[in-house]
Structure 1
Amino acid sequence: MDTKTKKRLVLSVVFFCFLKTHVSLAADSITANQSLSGDQTIVSAGGIFELGFFTPGNSSKFYVGIWYTKQLVSERTIVWVANREKPVSDKFSSVLRISDGNLVLFNGSKIPVWSTNLTSSSAATALLLDTGNLVLREGSSNSTSEPLWQSFDHPAHTWLPGARIGFNTVTKQTQILTSWKSSEDPAPGLFSLELDPKGSHAYFIRWNRSRQYWSSGPWDSKSKLFSWVPEMRLNYIYNFSFVTNATESYFTYSLYDPKIISRFVLNTSGQIQQLTWLEPSRQWNLFWSQPRQRCEVYDLCGAFGTCNDVSTVSCNCLNGFEPKAKRDWDLQDYSGGCKRKTDLHCENATSASGKLDRFLELPSMSLPENEQSVEVGNIAECESFCLRNCSCTAYSYNASGCSIWEGELLNLQQLTSSVDHGITLYLRLAASEFKNSKSNNKGLIVGVAAGSAAGVAVLLGLIVFVILGQRKRSSRPRSNNRSTASSQTKNSPSSTISKRSEEHQ
């Protein structure tokens, strides 16, 4: 083989590898004879959305997702994730391809971890549209047939223009937004946004798919807004519409100006946000969010965590507690709550050196739920009742009487507004948790004693100074009188006559 032939062969191999890695960059679909792996992506025809493998934040796990192209939105913004609950460890050994009429993700061991899960085995093509919708159609990408499957029917945490949030009464299929678990974990979190299945034409945000903590209020078809979302009156960006018939009910929306880039997101803290991309500043601008206050989100801070709307940090653990999972808290996933630093005496008598548990006073608190009323005569009896019950973790006593709480304390909030009148909560802690306060008291006593001694010394010095001053003042008049008397004696007539007589002699 001559030199020219070798060079051609090397160039051919390099070019083939380049095509292998980037062949899909110009394509908007995955066909039966194509696949996607590694850094390969497909891009919608208009260059708006891109699909491929990604890693959220500092995570080492890989997911298949859809995001805005870099040319359109410089900040990587994920709008949909396929394998939310089953990430892969290596994007180069994993592959996304058409298999038996389905779009399937295989991991490095060739085991399917995600699929469109259709029963049809006919040839199909996966096509990424400029709306951000990934559709699976029978035949080629040019087919105009109805989608066999589409990502808009399986939203993650983002609601894009043209997509639906609602339900189908025939297929029992629902379109629900579900928050990410954290900024580095797109697995379904605790919060979900859904259309009221009872037909009230209102949105609910729920905690753990069971506890409702926010409602949009009913839909006003004339004004095209939700009654409890007044911000929508100023809405000049979105055109909402509600559709209901015998088989389905759903909301959808479009943009008055298609050039605007906007989205709805249910974030990890349980708030629904309306965001618009501003190119000059290259950032997402928050148009409005609901609920308005973070602490209105049910159980945002988990067990024994307290919420504060004023602080930049939403959640903190109560005194004597620490986060169960510190890394999750750093990622603003507070759902794990807090755990005790020291076991209670009633649970482990050796943990507190035999000392009984004590209660820490927490003023201005919004009291937790599931309280139990106890008939007692005063606050001392209320404390005693709680102390005798090892399951009792806190108590309060006010005009309404004695209330106790057993087990975990949920949905706590530290009130800071003068308008909000919180109640003092007494939190049960191990006796050893109060040692710092004792040390502080001891230091305070020493400080007060030292300050008092210094004050006494200053006072004594002042008294001495006054006495000496008085002595000086009392001695000065006597000296002056003597001088005056002497002067008068010298200048008297008798003295003058005596002096003249001496001179005459």
Structure 2
Amino acid sequence: MISPGNVFELGFFKLAGSNTKEDGERWYLGLWFYKASSKMNPLWVANRESPLYDSKGALKIYKSNLVIVNQSGNIIWSSSNAVVPSPPKTSSVVAELLSNGNFVLRYSDDNRGDSFLWESFDYPTDTLLPGSDLAKGVNRSLTSWISNNNPSTGIYSYALLSKNQEMFLLDAKSSPVYRRSFGLKTPYALGNGYYLLLLQVTYDGLLQQFSWSPTTREKTLLWRGPRDRCDLYGKICGSNSVCSLEKVDVHVFAGCTCFKGFKPRNWRGWWLRNMTEGCQRISRLNCTGNGFQVLKNVKLPDTKDAGLERSIGPKECRQRCIEDCSCTGFANVELDCFLYSSDLVDLRTLQSGQQLYIKVATSYLGKFFISS
């Protein structure tokens, strides 16, 4: 099945090297780019946990659900979460691959997006396609393959974890490894023609963004992370400090800097370059007599405990923080005002980052601490 515009293709596939002595061949129903290289893995897999063990399976519509059956007629996978209205319509149920790569189940006389019985965009595997939205899907995460030639669920995931729609790369223990959010709801135009931007979690624990040209059928890696030790969530610098890379001869080290008006929680660990306990205020804030330290070109802290007010400019955002005695800092990004009220976690320097304003007593604005 090929999508309109010849961008995506849906069908059964067997990965190279997927044979095992115990199981023989493993076949899956999946989605890939039309005429993509065989070296490029599929973007979506339906039966990732329940493969067919020969090529004689079939995809069918059964009782208003999609099912995959093996050669014996047994169902090995089903879209059992299809939302069928009660009473059901009398029109027939059809399956369709849309131009954006969304594989949908719907009534033949109703192609409205909000009336789909089931759609693959609600159940992504390891790749996020343009037009899909993790914040609205049934499964609100991407999950890696177990290996490069086995699409079974791996140990890494990319998930929505906070009220402010912060996205995290998680390890096998569901502990954050890396924090970064992307907007991938629409195709991305670049130069002649257009390119699709996609986000993927790799089996070895990386989050990567790549583009695909439907015209040239070329895949280009744009970005991959974590890139260095400063990208690791909470592994190098603790709270209320900024991680930055320091080059000594040919070696690159990650160093931590306390905010002005803060000191290391553990001085001994700090001088031994174990800075994971982070920093604490030298003295508690009062409601008056405070100023703001400005940090430029930084990755903003984790916003899971931050308040968010929209359509507010920098001056008004600053005033909100001044008037709120519990506010510890603020940031204003495209008229989104983030008001922090607890320790600030996961900061690093960037070449072109954001500005963060940290509330400190005016008496400390001339003092700061730097790691050795």
TM-score bracket, normalised by the shorter chain, equals 0.5 to 0.7
Match of 1:207 among 160, 171, 184: 171
Matched, 1:83 2:51: no
| Contact 2:135–2:165 (Cα < 8 Å) also in 1 | no
Match of 1:273 among 197, 205, 208: 208
Which residue of structure 1 aligns with residue 220 of structure 2? Answer: 285
Q: Which has the larger radius of gyration?
A: 1
Whichever residue aligns with residue 86 of structure 1, its letter is: S
Which residue of structure 1 aligns with residue 15 of structure 2? Answer: 56
The DSSP-based 3-state class of the residue aligned with 1:260 is strand
Matched, 1:135 2:68: no
Q: What is the distance in 1 between the residues matched to 2:40 and 2:112?
A: 31
Whichever residue aligns with residue 189 of structure 1, its letter is: G
- Cα distance, 1:195 vs. partner? 1.3
Matched, 1:255 2:159: no
Match of 1:115 among 61, 72, 78: 78
Q: What is the distance in 2 between the residues matched to 1:264 and 1:190?
A: 17
| Contact 1:191–1:209 (Cα < 8 Å) also in 2 | no
**What does residue range 211-360 of structure 1 map to in structure 2 within 5 Å?**
211-216=175-180, 240=183, 252-257=185-190, 259-277=194-212, 283-293=218-228
- Cα distance, 1:130 vs. partner? 1.3
- Cα distance, 1:297 vs. partner? 7.1
Which residue of structure 1 aligns with residue 304 of structure 2? Answer: none
| Contact 2:105–2:116 (Cα < 8 Å) also in 1 | yes
Which residue of structure 2 aligns with residue 174 of structure 1? Answer: 139
Q: TM-score, normalised by structure 1?
A: 0.40
Q: Deviations over 1:298-335 (max 9, x none)?
A: 9xxxxxxxxxxxxxxxxxxxxxxxxxxxxxxxxxxxxx
Which residue of structure 1 aligns with residue 134 of structure 2? Answer: 165
Q: TM-score, normalised by structure 2?
A: 0.53
Which residue of structure 2 aligns with residue 152 of structure 1? Answer: 121
Q: Which has the higher contact order (CA 8 A, sep 6+)?
A: 2
Q: Deviations over 1:213-258 (max 9, x none)?
A: 1112xxxxxxxxx5xxxxx8xxxxxxx3xxxxxxxxxx73432357
The DSSP-based 3-state class of the residue aligned with 1:91 is coil
Change (3 A) 1:211 1:76: closer
Q: Deviations over 1:122-154 (max 9, x none)?
A: 6311100111110110235x7446211100000
| Contact 1:271–1:297 (Cα < 8 Å) also in 2 | no
Whichever residue aligns with residue 198 of structure 2, its letter is: R
Change (3 A) 1:76 1:270: closer
Q: What is the distance in 2 between the residues matched to 1:253 and 1:195?
A: 19
- Cα distance, 1:43 vs. partner? 0.9
How many residues are paired up? 223
- Cα distance, 1:45 vs. partner? 2.1
The DSSP-based 3-state class of the residue aligned with 1:194 is strand
Higher helix content, 1 or 2:
1
Q: What is the distance in 1 between the residues matched to 2:216 and 2:33?
A: 17
CA RMSD of aligned residues (A): 3.3
Q: Percent identity?
A: 32
Whichever residue aligns with residue 49 of structure 1, its letter is: F
Matched, 1:44 2:3: yes
Q: What is the distance in 2 between the residues matched to 1:279 and 1:48?
A: 6
Q: What is the distance in 2 between the residues matched to 1:291 and 1:47?
A: 34
Q: What is the distance in 1 between the residues matched to 2:230 and 2:204?
A: 10
Q: What is the distance in 2 between the residues matched to 1:202 and 1:147?
A: 28
**What does residue range 440-459 of structure 1 map to in structure 2 within 5 Å?**
none
The DSSP-based 3-state class of the residue aligned with 1:165 is coil
The DSSP-based 3-state class of the residue aligned with 1:86 is coil
Change (3 A) 1:186 1:130: same
Change (3 A) 1:279 1:162: closer
- Cα distance, 1:294 vs. partner? 8.8
Change (3 A) 1:157 1:54: same
The DSSP-based 3-state class of the residue aligned with 1:264 is strand
Whichever residue aligns with residue 254 of structure 1, its letter is: P
| Contact 1:126–1:134 (Cα < 8 Å) also in 2 | yes
Whichever residue aligns with residue 208 of structure 2, its letter is: Q
| Contact 1:74–1:282 (Cα < 8 Å) also in 2 | no
Runs of 4+ in 1 over 4 A off after TM superposition: 72-76, 278-283, 294-298
Q: What is the distance in 1 between the residues matched to 2:76 and 2:229?
A: 35
| Contact 2:135–2:160 (Cα < 8 Å) also in 1 | yes
Match of 1:189 among 148, 154, 161: 154
Change (3 A) 1:181 1:297: farther
Q: Deviations over 1:365-403 (max 9, x none)?
A: x99x9xxxxxxxxxxxxxxxxxxxxxxxxxxxxxxxxxx
| Contact 2:187–2:196 (Cα < 8 Å) also in 1 | no
